[in-house]
Structure 1
Amino acid sequence: MKLNWKFKFCCLIAVVLVTSILYELWFVGGKKKLFYKPVSRQSSKDIFSFSLSQQHELYQKDDMFNNIFFSAEDVTDFILLILKNENVMVTLQTLWEKYSRDKGKLLNDQIKNEKFENKANIMLRDILNKKNKNVFLDVNEKYEFSVLNRTCHNIERDLQGRGQCIVSLEDTLCSERKLSDRTKGKKQKNRSQQKWTGQKEKLCDYMHMNSSTFVYLPHLKNPCYEECERGYNTIRCLPYFMIIGMPKSGTTSLYYHLAQHKEVLPGKKKEPMYFNRNCYRGMHLNDYTMNFDEMKTRLTAGKQVSSLITGDGSADVAFDSWDWKNFPGNEGLKEPKYVLPFFIHKLLPGLKIIIMLRDPVERLYSDYLFEAPIAHYLLSLEDFHQAVHRAVRKQELCQAQFSVRTCAYNSSLENYKARLRVGMYYVFLMDWLNIYPQNQILVIDFDEYTKDKRKILNEVAEFLELSK
């Protein structure tokens, strides 16, 4: 009986051991099939539509490629190829093929190319990791110039483009160098504040753009978009609202009162005058977005900005389509078919527009007083009367040959002593209302604003969907 009991016990143990071994073999063999989820085989275009943080998170799931660490020899090969002005992506492809061979990753061409495209950004960041700084210094001994600077310069030049960066230099040796350059250049900051060329342009760059040119960041109230600038992802912001007019109607007061609200970030300048004036003087859209860099600064610093907005207070935009004859679609016309609101709407269809109106005669005289120190003329009622008389006569002669609308946009009929046409509110307001829906335009009476600012400011806050 004892022998029989021992035999049964041994058999039971043997069954358990065999079962355990079989389960282990099944689990190890089937683990990849049951639990491993490879990165979906999307095109490079789809992959690069993700943010860089999303890409990194996506690739971390790919066990096969999580542990890429290039040797000093590989990094040296990369540096030498880049110094020879080789294309960055071609160089990475060469390095990737060598890495695959060395690691024994026998992949077919389709998967190999796909994995390379999905991994290019992480590869570049591994090569330019700060741990490889000594490799750059070793290569540097053979050259009379800074190898790191030249390598980064060549990479930056090759990665110029719009949209999101395919490969990014953020948090690499190149960005460290760039930050160092910025610190050294702080003393020259005042010299380089205006970066635009100053060259006269026949046509403004934004007139060929539309809102589909950019992908606005969905989690923000203010229109901001991501762009690749020489291999570095950067954020650019445009205004959520514009105070488009009219001059001497309280626009400056309103703008700076709004700037006191906790959810409004004012621009560097109240009136950048990009859309109507400075775009003809070499200012491009990227230069214009620099006026709203405070929004970008807070966003890149990781601060809560989802409810923040910024605005443009260029008070001449309402009426200043002075070069309408050269606008696309207006060639050869006697009356403008397209004016500024048409082109601004293409770029900013969700723009909130504020226009302040004042009694045209009072506005005209206030304008006359304001411009005297700038235009260097002596103030007198008689001088003002004569200036207005001349402006009225010019308008009468113009309207005898052309439509009221054509004359309203003719800036040659005025001088700064009597900008009579600015008071032709109906023409300008109708052009904006024909483009933008009425719920995106707020008209403010100057007299009501001066009588009860608190009431009007509350109305503006409600219009801009600001907290009270």
Structure 2
Amino acid sequence: MWNTLTGSNTRKRTVFLISVTICIFVIYAQWSKAFGIFSNSKGNSKPDNVNLFSEKLRAAANNQLTSVKNVSDKRTSLPTLQDSNFELKEINSFDITTLTNVTNATEIEQVNKTLTLLSRQVGSDSVIDWSKFQHISFRQKPKQNMSDLPYFLRFEKAAYDIMNMEPITFDPAFKNPCWRGGDSFTSLNDGSLHCLPYFYIIGVKKSGTTDLYVRMKRHAEFCEPFRKGSQWFPRLRFGTDVTSRINNYVLSIIQRGFDPRKVEFFISLFDKPALCISRSLSTRRGKDPLRYKMVTAEASPSTFHMHTNWERLPGNENLNDPRYTNFQYIKHITPNVKIIILFRDPTTRLYSDFLHTTRVWYGRYSPYVFHRDVIQLIEAYKSCFRRFSQRSCVYNNTLKQELRSKGVILAESFNAGFYAVYMKELLAVFGKAQLFPILMTDYITKMEKTLRNAFSFLDMSSVSSRTMRRMLKIGPQNVSNKKKAGIMLVETRDMLYEFYRPYNEDMVTLMNDTQYLFPKP
């Protein structure tokens, strides 16, 4: 047939092709209609399944939210659909034009996109979250929490008694603090090589710690641990908020019989870099005693400001502020360790952390929610400072728990902005020689110089120009997305700058550097 249409009769051939195309389209349209593929996205008529979808959405939401309330970690108290300020009034092919507290086209568009996704998730393993000031979103159900493990059913002080540990005798042939199990640490009497971090990147959260770590791990003398930060000091050993860290590697260590509350467990987290270090025998040069020059690190940014359960630990009982913190524990097990800290304007850092935290856990993108939380945080800490010392309030875990119970999600992060309090502790414990502070602005504008200075501080070999180019070519890491939420409200920014100013001035005096004033842009 085709042959009869070829040749000079182009008109007949064109008509034939058009006819065939129309036939295919009609058949496909009828087939799609029969199986319900096409949705009625325009017009006033509502499809028959709209009310059914609305009922399923409401039922699924209430069922899922009820289950969230029973989750052991209870990161947030979520209302039922009836208690929420959101009310589903009209659903026309997932097109909502009337939604309480949604007042602009951008938010309505976001609601439409979210509901379209949600329509595919009804009946699945999803949890619906919402907030007074922002759109509906959903996240996955939390996995097993560390606090559900039998280790954490009761608090045993002996498990956390680090300060009474006998000092570990490290092998001088290793640049990194390493030793053979059985030589000096009887609880790891297995004859294997064990190592602890040579240096820590301890904070501050949302100040570029991930970005710095990702670039530094490209150094030829670096052995990468199982993850950037184990969060063992601030979280993991207490079973606190570590859902995402219950991975196969951690569980395998527990299955080997290690108690996650004890230092032996922390040491076991570095078995992978210990193996890497043991295979890196170097050629001695002159009188250099070092035979193994590879090192490893730990980079949990919460170590700087999150001193969980300090009031229950041995030596801190019945005190208003701690005698021992994360810093003393690190110093005790690794006396010569080196510490890197990045600092950022505490106001912009807090908003960045808000965007990151709400994106990961709650789906609550809104500068208005941030403004509301900041007001409560400032009022709570001002009230505390009128009654107690600055240090007591900064380390007051009860205050942070009360704020969290009111729905304030940034109590820990707000606390991290008191830089001078923690820096005084660090200087008292480690001294200037073991500390390398970095301003985030310097890191961004002078990245190569900062990296070379960091490697020099760590006594690591200078990297070649080629390696440095590779480090600098890496894209920015762990950057918060401000486009969705918008910029911080001016009134919120002014409140925070005013609140943090005296503490920034203390930091200027402590560091002898006016850059720590972090002037308002």
TM-score, length of structure 1 as denominator length: 0.55
Within the alignment, does 1:437 sit opposite 2:435 as a pair? Answer: no
Matching of residues 250-265 of structure 1 within 5 Å: 250-265=208-223
Match of 1:275 among 207, 219, 233: 233
Structure 2 Cα separation of the partners of residues 298 and 322 of structure 1: 32
The Cα of 1:291 is off from its aligned counterpart by 2.7
Q: Percent identity?
A: 29
1:358 has 2:344 as partner: yes
SS in 2 for 1:364: helix
For 2:277 and 2:228, the matched residues in 1 are separated by 21
Shift of 1:211: 7.5
**Cα offset, 1:299, TM superposition:** 4.7
Q: In 2, distance between residues paired with 1:420 and 1:230?
A: 39
Change (3 A) 1:355 1:301: closer
The answer to which of 414-423 and 383-392 deviates more is 414-423
Asked if the contact 1:227–1:234 (Cα under 8 Å) also holds between the matched residues in 2, the reply is yes
* Corresponding position: 1:424 with 2:376: no
Pairing 1:34-433 to 2, within 5 Å after superposition: 199-200=151-152, 201-203=155-157, 205=159, 207-209=161-163, 212-228=166-182, 232-281=190-239, 282-283=259-260, 284-301=262-279, 303-304=281-282, 306-411=292-397, 412-413=399-400, 414=403, 415-417=408-410, 419-433=413-427
* CA distance, structure 2, for counterparts of residue 220 and residue 204 of structure 1: 31
Q: Is the 8 A contact 1:211 1:349 kept in 2?
A: no
CA contact (8 A) 2:278 2:292 kept: no
**Alpha-carbon distance in structure 1 between the residues aligned to 2:203 and 2:276:** 29
CA contact (8 A) 2:277 2:295 kept: no
Contact 2:277–2:294 (CA<8 Å) still a contact in 1?
no
The one of 443, 450, 455 aligned to 1:456: 450
Report the AA paired with residue 439 of structure 1: A
State the one-letter code of the partner of 1:465: D
**Contact map agreement 1:267 1:294 (CA 8 A) in 2:** yes
Q: Distance in 2 between matches of 1:406 and 1:433?
A: 19
Structure 2 SS opposite 1:329: coil
CA contact (8 A) 1:227 1:235 kept: yes
Per-residue deviation, residues 171-225 of structure 1 (Å, max 9, x unmatched): xxxxxxxxxxxxxxxxxxxxxxx9x966214447464356743221110010011
Query: Does structure 1 conserve the Cα–Cα contact (< 8 Å) formed by 2:168 and 2:333?
Result: no
Q: Answer 1 or 2: which has greater helix percent.
A: 1
> Which amino acid is the alignment partner of residue 320 of structure 1?
M
Cα 1:377–1:214, aligned 2, differ >3 Å: closer, same or farther?
same
Unmatched 5+ stretches in structure 2: 1-145, 240-258, 283-290, 463-521
Which moves more between the two structures, 205-214 or 273-282?
205-214
Greater relative CO, 1 or 2 (CA 8 Å, sep 6+)? 2
Say if 1:329 and 1:338, in contact at 8 Å, map to a contact too: yes
The answer as to whether partners of 2:167 and 2:332 remain within 8 angstroms in 1 is: no
Counterpart CA distance in 2 for 1:214 and 1:206 is 17
Corresponding residue of 2:91: none
Residue 235 of structure 1 aligns with an amino acid whose one-letter code is L
Shift in Å, 1:271: 1.1
- Tell me the SS of whatever aligns to 1:239: coil
Aligned partner letter, 2:409: Y
TM-score, normalised to structure 2, is: 0.49
